[in-house]
């Protein structure tokens, strides 16, 4: 028999054997699939994030404490995406998954209802008595140390932002509270694919990246009330010495009131405190995918994941103070301090969800579901302000890694199988 005919008969026999194998296994409940195939998907994510900040510390004290807080942070749902590429063969599937859960932003702006004292503002006889204040239990501790005579700062005046008793017409200080958080994920997983089992199992590697920025800004009119030998402001020496601040630029003359500036106008003072954290989590996870429903090709599965991670953490806390004479040609003085720390710690991450796969054609299907992701043992931005320890001006910073987030949301997309 000619060689060409032998080849055609052998090829036909192979196809027939493959077809009979498929027909023997095919059923309404477990349709036959090829031995090897590729799968790819693209999904749109709409996720929010729970912001249960357990240890933010107060930003200021006094009647407006509740206005400048991270405890009531409310993140809206944000858009993200997820892509997957997988390969299945001989009852197993390997997949790579990348997800960008979006950037969550919180912002609150407004005005205080009283002035802000830097030193002993809560004491009777002070022109800021009963107003807002900063001290060693609030934010902006470097500025408080420079202003407080009891801590070695200026003892000849009371300093703060107007209005106060001598200057009741000053505009109220304005504030801004901001918080930004981003989350990314990459997974490399190995799954079982047993058509006779209602639960598939898997294990894999996962990387999670959580970066955060949180801060507060207050702007107002600088005032200095005389006590003994007034110097018409908050001195450069007190800011550097008792406050532990560093001169960063402009004119090294501290912050001055209307008597200290040649313009006859008090400085406009900008106060900023900001914390930044970076969490890089690398770990292994175990997974399960129970089948919840199967009907004519439409599949609904549960998703369970849990893993232990090594978290490489870095954090920083910055204070920055800018005093500017608003007069023509007025000088600007900038002071600040920055703390940073890094450490390695253990973290946990787990996920629960439900995922639907609805076939549209032989190769295309519509996928969608809902998922909740828990990460514990991370450094959150707002919790770093309370991590400053020790006495001024020699405070130290130990990055706080006891934070927890819960991100949850919906996903919808298309999957292609070939």
**Distance in angstroms (rounded) separating the CA atoms of residues 224 and 143:** 14
pTM for this predicted structure: 0.88
pLDDT of 291 higher than 80: yes
- C-alpha 330: how far from its chain's center? 38
Report phi then psi at 302, rounded to 5. -90, 160
Q: Which residue has the higher pLDDT, 152 or 3?
A: 152
- Return the ∠ at Cα 94 (arms to 93 and 97), rounded to 5°: 125
Strands 132-133 and 116-117: parallel
* pLDDT value of residue 26: 41
- At 93, which helix (H) or strand (E)? strand 92-111
**Distance in angstroms (rounded) separating the CA atoms of residues 256 and 323:** 8
**pLDDT tier, 124 (very low <50, low <70, confident <90, very high otherwise):** low
**Domain-by-domain residue ranges, the chain?**
42-417
Average pLDDT for the chain? 90
Enter the tokens of residue 386.
Answer: 């309370």
Q: Do 246 and 236 contact (CB within 8 A), yes or no?
A: no
Fill in the DSSP letter of residue 415: E
Q: Do 279 and 301 contact (CB within 8 A), yes or no?
A: no
- Return the ∠ at Cα 25 (arms to 415 and 361), rounded to 5°: 25
pLDDT of 161 higher than 80: yes
* pLDDT value of residue 19: 37
pLDDT of 71 higher than 80: no
- Return the ∠ at Cα 223 (arms to 251 and 237), rounded to 5°: 40
* pLDDT value of residue 57: 84
* pLDDT value of residue 123: 63
SS percent in the chain: helix, strand, coil, step 5: 10, 55, 35
Ranges 221-230, 241-250, 375-384: which has the least confidence: 221-230
Q: Do 28 and 296 contact (CB within 8 A), yes or no?
A: yes
Note the pLDDT tens digit of each residue in 80-103.
999 999 999 999 999 999 999 999
For the segment 178-190, the average pLDDT, to the nearest whole number, is 97
For the segment 390-410, the average pLDDT, to the nearest whole number, is 96
* pLDDT value of residue 3: 43
Cis peptide bond N-terminal to 163, omega within 30: yes
**Distance in angstroms (rounded) separating the CA atoms of residues 223 and 238:** 16
For the segment 16-24, the average pLDDT, to the nearest whole number, is 39
Handedness of CA 167, 319, 142, 245 (dihedral sign): negative
Closest CA to 267 of 224, 321, 324, 223: 324
Spell out where 136-195 has E strands: 157-161, 174-192
pLDDT of 73 higher than 90: no
* 238 contact partners, CB below 8 Å, separation of at least 6: 146, 147, 152, 153, 154, 254
Closest CA to 105 of 79, 130, 133: 79
| Token pair 């107007």: residue | 162
């Amino acid at each position: 028999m000619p060689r060409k005919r032998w080849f055609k008969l052998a090829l036909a026999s192979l196809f027939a054997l493959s077809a009979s194998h498929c027909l023997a296994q095919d059923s309404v409940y477990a349709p036959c699939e090829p031995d090897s195939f590729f799968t790819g998907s693209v999904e749109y994510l709409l996720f929010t994030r729970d912001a249960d900040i357990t240890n933010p510390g107060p930003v200021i004290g006094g009647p407006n404490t509740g206005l400048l807080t991270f405890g009531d942070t409310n993140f809206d749902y944000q858009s993200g995406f997820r892509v997957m590429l997988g390969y299945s063969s001989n009852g197993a599937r390997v997949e790579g998954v990348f997800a960008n859960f979006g950037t969550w932003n919180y912002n609150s702006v407004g005005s205080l209802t009283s002035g802000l004292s830097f030193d002993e503002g809560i004491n009777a006889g002070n022109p800021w008595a009963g107003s807002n204040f900063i001290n060693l239990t609030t934010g902006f501790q470097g500025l408080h140390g420079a202003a407080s005579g009891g801590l070695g700062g200026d003892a000849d005046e009371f300093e703060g932002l107007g209005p106060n008793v001598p200057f009741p017409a000053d505009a109220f200080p304005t504030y801004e509270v901001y918080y930004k958080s981003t989350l990314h994920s990459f997974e490399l997983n190995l799954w079982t694919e047993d058509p006779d089992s209602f639960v598939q199992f898997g294990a894999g590697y996962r990387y999670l990246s959580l970066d955060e920025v949180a801060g507060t800004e207050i702007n107002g009119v600088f005032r200095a009330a005389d006590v003994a030998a007034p110097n018409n402001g908050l001195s450069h020496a007190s800011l550097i010495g008792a406050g532990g601040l560093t001169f960063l630029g402009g004119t090294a003359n501290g912050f001055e009131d209307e008597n200290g500036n040649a313009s006859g106008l008090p400085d406009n003072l900008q106060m900023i405190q900001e914390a930044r954290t970076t969490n890089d989590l690398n770990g292994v996870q175990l997974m399960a995918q129970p089948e919840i429903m199967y009907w004519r090709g439409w599949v609904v599965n549960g998703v369970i994941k849990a893993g232990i991670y090594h978290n490489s953490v870095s954090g920083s806390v910055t204070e920055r103070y800018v005093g500017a004479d608003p007069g023509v040609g007025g000088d600007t003085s900038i002071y600040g301090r920055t703390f940073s720390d890094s450490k390695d710690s253990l973290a946990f991450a787990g996920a629960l969800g439900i995922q639907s796969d609805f076939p549209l054609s032989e190769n295309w299907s519509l996928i969608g579901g809902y998922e909740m992701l828990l990460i514990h043992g991370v450094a959150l931005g707002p919790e770093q302000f309370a991590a400053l320890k020790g006495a001024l001006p020699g405070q130290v910073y130990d990055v706080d890694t006891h934070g927890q987030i819960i991100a949850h949301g919906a996903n919808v997309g298309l999957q292609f199988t070939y």
